[in-house]
Amino acid sequence: MKVTIPPYVHSYPAPVILIGCGTVDNPNIITCSWFGTVCSEPPMVSVSIRQSRHSFPLVKETGEFTANIPRVSDLEKVEFCGYKSGRSVNKFKELKLTPLSCPPLDSAPMIEECSLILACKVKHEIPLGSHNMFIAEVVAVHCEEDMVRRTKTAVPFPEEQLIYLDKRYWTPKLLK
Ligand SMILES: Cc1cc2nc3c(=O)[nH]c(=O)nc-3n(C[C@H](O)[C@H](O)[C@H](O)COP(=O)(O)O)c2cc1C
């Protein structure tokens, strides 16, 4: 027998992404898992950010962000960037990460230590309620050479991909 409970969205898996924003000289990182693929041609992704985050005006004003894909071994950094605010701490400095310019973006920094980075230019902003969704075109992909496939695409090593589900971290399992 089914029961009806209040509407709730936290029960599907979401990738854990380190969003780079601001500038190379004044950079910030926010951990986001309300992130998704929304279009393949042109390649587009979405990220939803609460208006209260320090990162929110940085993304809004520059119209840019970088989506840096962390690995399982980056979990501590993911949590640091997901619990500390750039208002009170320089996350790059604290975590000994390197902000690099991310061509062809003008402003948003990428994290050199991540092996796969999407350079994203915001095309639409949709206020949804608690979060505003930024829909952005992926204008370049920067990655380690060994991740590029013959098809000129790159995917994170699946066993290295972090997923957030039910307030816990998971990695995907190959089924087929
Ligand atoms: C796993 C995880 C996922 C998160 N996903 C989001 C998200 O999608 N959107 C958001 O606004 N905040 C998200 N947060 C919370 C922010 O990362 C957190 O509030 C952060 O401290 C904000 O940093 P800032 O103030 O420097 O922008 C997430 C936190 C964690 C730990």
State if residue 83 touches ligand 1 by the CB under 6 angstroms criterion: yes
pLDDT at 56: 98
Report which protein residue has its CA nearest ligand 1's atom 11: 49
Cα 77 to Cα 80: distance, rounded to the nearest angstrom: 5
Would you list the domain boundaries of the chain? 14-170
pLDDT at 151: 74
pLDDT at 9: 78
| Contact by Cβ (8 Å): 68, 62 | no
E-assigned strands of 4-158?
A: 14-15, 17-22, 27-32, 35-39, 44-50, 64-68, 99-101, 109-111, 116-127, 131-143
State if residue 16 touches ligand 1 by the CB under 6 angstroms criterion: yes
Identify the architecture of domain 14-170 in CATH. Answer: Roll (2.30)
| Contact by Cβ (8 Å): 173, 166 | no
pLDDT per residue as tens digits for the range 26-66: 999 999 999 999 999 999 999 999 999 999 999 999 999 99
Q: Which atom of ligand 1 sits closest to the CA of residue 55?
A: 27
CA of 153 to the centre of ligand 1 (A): 28
Ligand 1 pocket test, pick from 18, 52, 53, 89 with the greatest ligand atom count within 8 Å of Cβ, gives: 53
pLDDT mean values, one per 10 residues, the chain (176 residues): 86 89 98 96 98 98 98 97 98 98 98 97 97 98 87 80 92 88
pLDDT at 155: 76
Report which protein residue has its CA nearest ligand 1's atom 9: 49
